[in-house]
Structure 1
Amino acid sequence: MKKIGQFKNPEAQQRYFPVYERALRECPPPDEVFDVACRHGSTRVYRFGDGERPIVLLPGLMSTSVCYASLIPELDGPVYAVDTLGEAGRSVQTRPFADIRDRALGFDDVLAGLGLRDVFLVGGSTGGWHAVNQAIHAPDRLAALCLLDPTTVSAKFSAAAQWRALKAIVLDRDRGWRRFVAWSAGEDVFDQPAARTVVAGIRDYRARVPLQSCPRAAELRAIRMPVLALFGGRSVVHDPVAAAANLRGLVPHATVEVLPDAGHYLYLRPEDRKRIAELINAARVPGGSQPPGTRSVS
């Protein structure tokens, strides 16, 4: 790639951040905020809670850290929530990604800058793909994975998801976005701050990240670390039953569960959120490290 992710213009940036900050206020107050230097720029990370068993949260496309506002209080700390570099949020990209391996190496820089090892890496939606990509190309700092209705890991995007997303982007009207968000989430959450942040990011930011596609079967079979994968039985962005079955076949040691009444926004319903938190807290691996005490890490 030759370009970097950035806001479309100064006016777009000015529109975006009030939406982002409003959604951030839905999260618990972070105990520490980091801007971690890496080979591709600076990655914003929020730490919630203390302890020695780090959970790191990777959001879906344009979702930023704020998408985890309702889940963070349910998790045993420390929890690190990341604004994905190359997408909208507080991370700032200064150098292009060469390929998907280069992207994983850049995120390994972030974990190293935070002083983290034995990480329980949690990824939702496209963040699930990002987590798997990390396990394939830069796994040394990881202890285990948790995938929350991951996209393009064991099943492709559905044709309906691609068509509806394209229509919403091209027409770019609130009414169309509301329909798309309600369809994809299984409930009208368009007015929720986290959903507004996603739409604002798509409207105001030009993401420049390597093409996301399903890993090769051999790459998935080579993953040896523990994997917890949860799928929404009512997810419409892919076939969740096929995605779960394919993952079971490709990663036989994985713990795979389908939450029958959950949509793609897997932790929208309180009962599903409670189940997800229970599984993450029970499955995470001991041995993580404390973050450094400084605000910025280089």
Structure 2
Amino acid sequence: MTTVYRSAEGAEAVRRGYDALLGRWPVSFESRTLETRLGDTFAVVSGPEGAPPVVALQGSGGTAAHWLPDIATLAENLRVYAVDAPGEPGRTVEARPPLGSPAYAEWLDDVLDALDLPGAAFLGASLGGWWALDHALRRPGRVTALVLVNPAGIGRRRVAPLLKFGAYSLFGAWGRRRSLAMVAKGGPADPGRRAVGEFTLATFEHFKPRLEPIPVVPVERLRALTMPVQAHFGAHDVLLDQRDAAAKLRQALPDADVRLAEDAGHFLPGWAGTAAEFLRGEAS
């Protein structure tokens, strides 16, 4: 059986770290295992019952637990369904269909059906932003609003940092810390973000990331988005050219709320309150 982990022991270590983060969850939550055509999908559900629903998707190497620093803000007046994506660390099936296929939109259809949601707002970060964007383009009737946080698949991918990461990987734990500092533009500051950063470092000791290129959505295709859109970009994202992404999205969707933080990198702080206000407003 193909696995996304380097060893069974590594998989168990990641799951222990995941459970430790959930043990620090600042709001009450319930765990759900959802049946989908790809296999079981794990979700962490927070926020008031009956509040506007939001499906939250993390990026590559991430889990639902990566929303720890922002979940208290998001779940105050929203019902947040933080979902582990297939083929990523966490407790969801390890299947990895091609990114350009309809398989992920079909998987998210099944997630919504299992949650008894005809539609929901979608919140996606990094590769999770690409999954949310892909679903919004393929299933516009099921996505009521869209919030993207440093999404992949809009701006150009940067190649030089990947070469540096490859070099740093030869230096063990020091190299992984150096790579994280590059991505986080100085490193996480508050305790929640530090905990997530440390978990991410530990995860990549054991996890085999995707090597498949991420499809880029052209401006003409972005114009097909019909739902309200808010997007947050970090100008110093070392992985993605987010200045390019912000310009493309503004060109495609002049009415979208597009924000470019000049002092931020790929791990983008400070967006959650604005996003929660946007999503509450669109649901009212």
TM-score (normalised: structure 1): 0.83
Q: Which residue of 1 aligns with 2:131?
A: 130
Gaps of 5+ in 2: none
Question: Which of the residues 17, 21, 24 maps onto 1:23?
Answer: 21
Offset, 1:225: 1.1
Query: SS in structure 1 opposite 2:60?
Result: coil
Offset, 1:210: 6.1
The question of 1:163 aligning with 2:163 is answered yes
Change (3 A) 1:263 1:121: same
Structure-2 separation of matches of 1:13 and 1:78: 29
Amino acid at match of 1:236: V
Deviations 1:250-277 (A, max 9, x none): 233321011232221112xxxx24xx32
Judge conservation of contact 1:83–1:91 (CA < 8 Å) in 2.
yes
Judge conservation of contact 1:125–1:148 (CA < 8 Å) in 2.
yes
Change (3 A) 1:258 1:216: closer
Amino acid at match of 1:125: S
Amino acid at match of 2:60: L
Structure-1 separation of matches of 2:61 and 2:7: 17
Q: Which residue of 2 aligns with 1:192?
A: 194
Structure-2 separation of matches of 1:196 and 1:55: 27
Amino acid at match of 2:195: P
The question of 1:227 aligning with 2:223 is answered no
Q: CA RMSD, aligned part only?
A: 2.4
Count residues in correspondence: 276
Judge conservation of contact 2:84–2:92 (CA < 8 Å) in 1.
yes
Structure-2 separation of matches of 1:13 and 1:265: 24
Judge conservation of contact 1:57–1:121 (CA < 8 Å) in 2.
yes
Judge conservation of contact 1:100–1:210 (CA < 8 Å) in 2.
no
Deviations 1:73-131 (A, max 9, x none): 012221111111111111123x5525531111112111111112331111111111111
The question of 1:70 aligning with 2:41 is answered no
Q: Which residue of 2 aligns with 1:277?
A: 273
Structure-2 separation of matches of 1:224 and 1:141: 11
Deviations 1:10-62 (A, max 9, x none): 22222222222222223225432111010101111011111330122111111
Identity %: 29
Amino acid at match of 1:97: P
Change (3 A) 1:205 1:139: farther
Structure-2 separation of matches of 1:44 and 1:177: 27
TM-score (normalised: structure 2): 0.87
Q: Which has the higher contact order (CA 8 A, sep 6+)?
A: 1
Structure-1 separation of matches of 2:179 and 2:3: 24
Report 1:1-298 matches (<5 A): 5-50=3-48, 51-75=50-74, 76-93=77-94, 97=97, 99-153=100-154, 155-169=155-169, 171=170, 173-189=172-188, 192-206=194-208, 211-267=213-269, 272-273=270-271, 276-284=272-280, 285-286=282-283
Judge conservation of contact 2:140–2:225 (CA < 8 Å) in 1.
no
